[in-house]
Structure 1
Amino acid sequence: MKLGIHAYAWCSQWSNDTLNLINRAKDLGMDFIELPLMSLDTFDVKAVRQRLLDVGLECCTSTVLLEGMDLTSGDAEERQRAVSYLKQCVEVSSGIGAKQFSGVIYSQHVKLAIKRPSEKEWQMAADGLREVAKYAQTLGLPIALEPVNRYETYLINTSEQAMRLIDMIGMDNVGVHLDTYHMNIEEKRFSDAVKLADSKLMHIHLCENDRGIPGTGLVDWDDLFRTLGEINYQGYAALESFVDITDNMSTWVWRQLAPNGDTLITEGKAFIRSMQEKYRLV
């Protein structure tokens, strides 16, 4: 299993001013860094790729669909904007040499829904993502769907729902991206969610129930890592927390979750590495 860090543990927006975070992640012993694609207008593909090569660090990318870009919208133009944006994210990810692209990419993040999703909305999400996945396949890039809690999406809250949508998409390069913060709310057991995803599990966000330092809260880390050991998970796993409010997505950080990004990484890494060793995932 490869252990990394999401850049939002340090910053609230990515730009060339934050390129040094790639160096910092490497210096702190991370195997990769996860880069947000929320603001493509400030994302310098050439600069990021060069810094990753110079430092010798792998990366993954992620995003969420914001207002005006919704694959489950009844407006065909809005659905096409979402597809176009996701294809651009795929192109950027490929351009920097990312190993995968994932996130809340199936419907608008924090959509003001007033009823459960219809079969038509499920099908629209599948159709849009199939087009994105086909494009990603031409670039050799895997993509993954991240289930998030009921307050952030009405479509994919669980591993089971993610697997259903993957079956509807019908592309081999689409997998699951689990997140322990959201699993703690929506899943019955961490182990069941992991077993269900099995070989389709591509990425995990390792978060405490309050998004603070892993090992300091209520997440059942033994249940999670025992099962990851059973399936011999060799994919990517990123520490994810947010240090501040951003103006490009909702993070709801109303208090300090860790003294700083470095403390989150140092203490979180020590805890996660101990769990890896305990369940033979080194």
Structure 2
Amino acid sequence: MIKSCVTVALVPQIKTGPWIFWEDLEAGMAKASELGFDAIELFTASADAIEVPKLKELLAKYNLELAAVGTGAGKVIHGLTLTDPDSEIRKKAVSFISDMIDFGAAFGAPAIIGSMQGNILPGNDRKETMSWLAEGLNQLGKHADSEGVMLIYEPLNRYETNLLNTIEAGSKFVETLETKSVKLLADLFHMNIEEGNLEESILNWGKYIGHVHFADSNRRPMGFGHTSMKQIAEALKTVGYAGYASAEAFPYPNSDEAAEQTIREFSRWFK
């Protein structure tokens, strides 16, 4: 069964990003619970930004699960990526993500690698850069496995990375890794830009999908753009996807209405 999820960001430096709830964790959780969401996806500045016992207490209070934790603050705040030409920066990136893996694992939740994957920088060799990415994912995948969770890698659109942009490219890359603990994030916003056919990509590569970002073509909540959800929902069900559909979307027109729109659309397609 596919479960509903809404995003909560607690990082001031990413205030303009695509997250439904901001800053006030408990208020966001209370609203999510009121609307009937199953879980939250959490973005924090670091692995120790919120104490594990406190978060466990809040999740129990509002009958919510932690679906995943984002790692983007590692790049936004510290400038860390897995493909930086500087090996010391790559080591720091691995360390930052490892800490986030440990934080998420306390709740059985995976960490997501999105912007921290980085880019092939001007003057750098693609083959070498991809080897750095593989090295980082192998290390982190093995660590995630030791903690009993998966690691989620997100193919981003061409305007955000020049590494891997499609579910097919991501799947073929994951196949080459030594670790078997890396799954893909199928972000419907990015897929709308890069995929020739979203449902075919899901049907062809669905076994590699470990998380879904549920946002429309314009990154507003689902239903506010032109994404054709019927075929996508059917494809996810066909491949047996049983994870979360998480609203990583702009809080349009505001957080509460965005959350309400999301749960309506989730119920329409997945219940």
On the 8 A contact 1:106/1:145 being kept in 2, the answer is no
Matched, 1:54 2:48: no
Query: After the TM superposition, which residues 129-208 of structure 1 pair with which residues of structure 2 at under 5 Å, given as runs?
Result: 129-208=137-216
Q: Which amino acid is the alignment partner of residue 62 of structure 2?
A: V
On the 8 A contact 1:69/1:79 being kept in 2, the answer is yes
Q: Which amino acid is the alignment partner of residue 76 of structure 1?
A: S
Quick one: which of 74, 82, 89 aligns to 1:71?
Answer: 82
Compared with structure 1, are the counterparts of its residues 177 and 217 closer, same or farther at alpha carbon in structure 2 (3 Å cutoff)? same
- Separation in 2 of the partners of 1:3 and 1:269? 7
Q: Which residue of 1 aligns with 2:117?
A: 107
Q: Deviations over 1:18-69 (max 9, x none)?
A: 2332222111100111001344453332211221123221112122251631
Q: Which amino acid is the alignment partner of residue 42 of structure 1?
A: A
Stretch of structure 1 that moved more, 98-107 or 124-133: 98-107
Q: Which residue of 2 aligns with 1:268?
A: 262
Partner of 1:202: helix, strand, or coil? strand
Query: After the TM superposition, which residues 199-238 of structure 1 pair with which residues of structure 2 at under 5 Å, given as runs?
Result: 199-238=207-246
Q: Deviations over 1:73-118 (max 9, x none)?
A: 22110110111011011011123x043221316622xx58337861
- Separation in 2 of the partners of 1:175 and 1:226? 20
Aligned residues between the structures? 256
On the 8 A contact 2:187/2:214 being kept in 1, the answer is yes
Matched, 1:5 2:6: yes
TM-score, normalisation: structure 1: 0.84
Structure 1 gaps, min length 5: 244-257, 277-281
- Separation in 2 of the partners of 1:194 and 1:167? 16
Cα drift, residue 123 of structure 1: 1.3
Partner of 1:237: helix, strand, or coil? strand
- Separation in 2 of the partners of 1:39 and 1:118? 30
Q: Which residue of 2 aligns with 1:35?
A: 42
Stretch of structure 1 that moved more, 230-239 or 80-89: 230-239
- Seq. identity, %: 25
Runs (4 or more) in structure 1 with deviation over 6 Å come to none
Q: Which residue of 2 aligns with 1:259?
A: 253
- Separation in 2 of the partners of 1:259 and 1:68? 31
On the 8 A contact 1:143/1:174 being kept in 2, the answer is yes
Compared with structure 1, are the counterparts of its residues 196 and 171 closer, same or farther at alpha carbon in structure 2 (3 Å cutoff)? farther
- Separation in 2 of the partners of 1:171 and 1:260? 41
Partner of 1:150: helix, strand, or coil? coil
Compared with structure 1, are the counterparts of its residues 54 and 221 closer, same or farther at alpha carbon in structure 2 (3 Å cutoff)? same
Cα drift, residue 180 of structure 1: 0.8
Partner of 2:140: helix, strand, or coil? helix
On the 8 A contact 1:2/1:236 being kept in 2, the answer is yes
- Separation in 1 of the partners of 2:27 and 2:266? 24
For the aligned residues, what is the CA RMSD?
A: 2.0
Matched, 1:89 2:90: no
